[in-house]
Amino acid sequence: MVTTKRSIPLMRLVQENLSIVMTYAYSRQALAEMFEGKFRGRWGYLHAALFEISLERAEKACFELALFLRILDDEQRLSAYFASMNSVPDCGTLILKDGSEKPLPFREVANKVIHSSRLEWKSEKGADPVLICHTQNKEGWLRAEVKILALAEVCGRLMG
């Protein structure tokens, strides 16, 4: 679906960063349960290896993925294409400062990640993980809740 004339293979970079995000999002809960059940006492270096370093890599991958998706959207007019087909991907929820909520289209995911003050991961047993992008307080939104699985579906559609 996506064609590009760049020397940098953007779709490969999307794929790599999506891989890191998905691996982190879906392994977090299982690693936490294993860590709490198997390790007692002080395990600072192990904790850092399993949680802190992987969190940093996942957040970096989120920012890179957002940038690459914005570039692709700008170059390929993907949002306009989705709109013309009446199939704008719903990738989550945007919570505005007045408490109202709006669907979060794929382009807005990239914008919210890029313009967030911080990222937070929410994963509950039996539920798909969510990435929460917090506002910088300058915008009219409070937070964006990105459904990681929905974002992966959009990326999969681009790569297919």
Tens of pLDDT, residue by residue over 67-115, are: 999 998 998 888 888 888 888 889 999 999 999 999 999 899 999 999 9
Q: Which has more pLDDT, 135 or 126?
A: 135
Given this model, what pLDDT does residue 159 score?
Answer: 75
With 60 as the cut, is the pLDDT of residue 6 above it? no
DSSP 127: S
Phi-psi region of 72 (alpha: psi -120 to 50; beta: other; left: phi over 0): alpha
Q: Which has more pLDDT, 138 or 111?
A: 111
Given this model, what pLDDT does residue 8 score?
Answer: 63
With 60 as the cut, is the pLDDT of residue 3 above it? no
Give the burial class of 64: count Cβ atoms within 10 A of its Cβ; 0-12 exposed, 13-18 middle, 19 or more buried: middle
Tens of pLDDT along 44-63? 999 999 999 999 999 999 99
DSSP 86: T
Q: Where are the domains of the chain?
A: 10-159
Tell which residue, 10, 131, 155, has the closest CA to residue 62.
Answer: 131
Q: Which has more pLDDT, 138 or 57?
A: 57
With 60 as the cut, is the pLDDT of residue 4 above it? no
How far apart, in Å, are the Cα atoms of 71 and each of 5, 47, 64, 110? Answer: 12, 35, 11, 10
Given this model, what pLDDT does residue 44 score?
Answer: 93
Given this model, what pLDDT does residue 118 score?
Answer: 95
Q: What is the pTM of this model?
A: 0.88
Q: How far apart are the first and last CA of the chain?
A: 7
How far apart, in Å, are the Cα atoms of 142 and each of 15, 36, 96, 116, 157? Answer: 29, 33, 5, 10, 29
